[in-house]
């Protein structure tokens, strides 16, 4: 039986940007409702087996409660930590179990850590976070259908997925972490809240994908050039005084004008040095890596990012093959 994994982050959509910006809170009751619709979509696509990450709110268990689905559900067994380590561990276990697809509920940060554990398992990311450049804003039912089509092989990975790029943080020659959307260098070394939103201490911005219609740091680059998710380039911005003024929505309800001194496109395996030490590198919106004084560090582009389900492309193949609308003969 084909297996689909579900990783629903109970903490997504609740960080400090709800207090300092104007982001709405994405409560776990809504996540439960989304998971129910995902499960119904999976069943319609022929999935009979799921496995899911345990969490302190019991999102998937509550979604299954009272739902009439003929599906074997397995709660992944490991010692939970109630932080990002749970998502990494769950993704790794799902990869080991041979999952055909992992559906995630979270924002850019959630999907960053899932990608670290998922290996070659395709990810279908649903947006329930703060800065949502990587995940989709689509209906859970459709997500379930698309994930089921990929997991069962009714639509092949070649047809229904693409490989994202990623940004790698390299310190003293070793890759220490990754980002799927943006890596931002700040000279504010006080960690405090993990989320980052102020521009006054930001000196370098690396962007994996950009769009003028996105939000967060990627919107800054998006006002200069669009970079699609599967495009094998990234953008480097040097931030400083007396540069080109770029006005962009850097957080929900917060629009700032940023001075961009230099813009550079990076190709696969190309790197740019981090010029500030000590500093902190925020990955997909959250402070993650500390650069100590005297360390040599850089950001590098790699095309070896996660496989991502192309929902519209997958559903288009299903339509062309009449998977959900088989032709019938009329006598």
- Averaged pLDDT, 114-126: 98
DSSP string, 291-322: EPTT--EEEEEES---EEE-HHHHHHHHHHTT
Average pLDDT of the chain?
A: 92
- pLDDT tier for residue 17 given thresholds of 50, 70 and 90: very low
| Maximal CA-CA distance, the chain | 81
User: pLDDT value at position 27?
Assistant: 84
- In this predicted model, which residue has the larger pLDDT, 128 or 307? 307
Q: What token pair was written down for 282?
A: 């925020």
Per-residue pLDDT for 224 more than 50?
A: yes
pLDDT digits (tens, 9 = 90+) for 20-49: 456 566 789 999 999 999 999 999 999 999
Domain ranges of the chain: 3-164+306-320, 166-302
User: pLDDT value at position 251?
Assistant: 85
Could you give the count of Cα atoms lying within 13 Å of 190 in the half-sphere of its Cβ?
3
- State the burial class of residue 61 (Cβ atoms within 10 Å of its Cβ: 0-12, 13-18, 19+): middle
pLDDT digits (tens, 9 = 90+) for 226-236: 999 889 999 99
pLDDT digits (tens, 9 = 90+) for 171-188: 999 999 999 999 999 998
User: pLDDT value at position 128?
Assistant: 87
Q: Where are the alpha helices (DSSP H) in the chain?
A: 17-20, 28-44, 59-64, 84-96, 108-118, 140-152, 157-160, 218-222, 311-320
User: pLDDT value at position 132?
Assistant: 82
DSSP string, 186-242: ES----SSSB----TTEEEEEESSB-TT--STHHHHHTT--B-TT-SEEEEEEEEEE
Q: Give the domain 166-302 fold.
A: Tumour Suppressor Smad4 (2.60.200)
For the entire predicted model, the pTM comes to 0.93
pLDDT digits (tens, 9 = 90+) for 122-159: 999 999 876 689 999 999 999 999 999 999 999 999 99
pLDDT digits (tens, 9 = 90+) for 199-217: 889 999 999 999 999 989 9
Cβ neighbours around 322 below 10 Å, total = 9
- Averaged pLDDT, 219-225: 97
User: pLDDT value at position 14?
Assistant: 52
Hunting for tokens 């009272």 — which residue is that? 66
- pLDDT tier for residue 15 given thresholds of 50, 70 and 90: low
Q: How far is CA 104 from CA 35, 68, 133, 206, 281, in A?
A: 10, 22, 14, 24, 24
- pLDDT tier for residue 16 given thresholds of 50, 70 and 90: very low
Q: Does domain 3-164+306-320 have CATH number 3.40.50.10330?
A: yes
95 — phi, psi (to 5°)? -65, -45
């Amino acid at each position: 039986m084909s297996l689909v994994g579900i990783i629903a982050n109970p903490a997504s959509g609740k960080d400090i940007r709800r207090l300092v910006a104007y982001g709405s809170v994405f409560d776990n009751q809504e996540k439960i409702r989304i998971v129910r619709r995902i499960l119904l979509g999976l069943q319609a696509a022929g999935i009979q087996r799921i496995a899911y990450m345990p969490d302190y709110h019991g999102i998937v268990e509550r979604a299954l409660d009272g739902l009439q689905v003929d599906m074997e559900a397995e709660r992944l067994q490991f010692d939970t930590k109630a932080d990002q380590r749970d998502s990494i561990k769950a993704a790794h276990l799902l990869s080991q179990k041979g999952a055909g697809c992992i559906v995630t509920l979270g924002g850019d940060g959630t999907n960053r850590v899932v990608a670290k554990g998922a290996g070659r398992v395709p990810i279908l990311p649903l947006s329930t976070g703060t800065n949502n450049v990587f995940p989709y804003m689509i209906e859970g039912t459709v997500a379930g259908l698309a994930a089921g089509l990929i997991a069962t092989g009714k639509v092949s990975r070649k047809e229904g997925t693409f490989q994202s790029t990623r940004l790698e943080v390299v310190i003293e020659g070793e890759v220490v972490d990754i980002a799927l959307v943006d890596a931002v260098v700040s000279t504010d070394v006080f960690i405090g809240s993990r989320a980052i939103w102020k521009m006054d201490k930001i000196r370098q911005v690396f962007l994996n994908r950009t769009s003028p219609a996105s939000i967060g740091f990627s919107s800054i680059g998006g006002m200069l050039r669009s970079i699609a998710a599967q495009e094998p380039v990234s953008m480097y911005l040097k931030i400083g005084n007396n540069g080109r003024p770029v006005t962009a929505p850097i957080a929900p309800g917060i629009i700032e004008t940023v001075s961009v001194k230099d813009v550079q496109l990076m190709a696969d395996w190309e790197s740019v040095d981090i010029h500030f030490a000590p500093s902190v590198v925020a990955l997909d919106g959250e402070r993650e890596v500390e650069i100590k004084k005297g360390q040599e560090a850089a950001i590098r582009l790699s095309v070896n990012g996660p496989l991502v389900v192309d929902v519209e492309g997958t559903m288009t193949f299903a339509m062309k093959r009449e998977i959900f609308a088989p032709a019938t003969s009329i006598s």
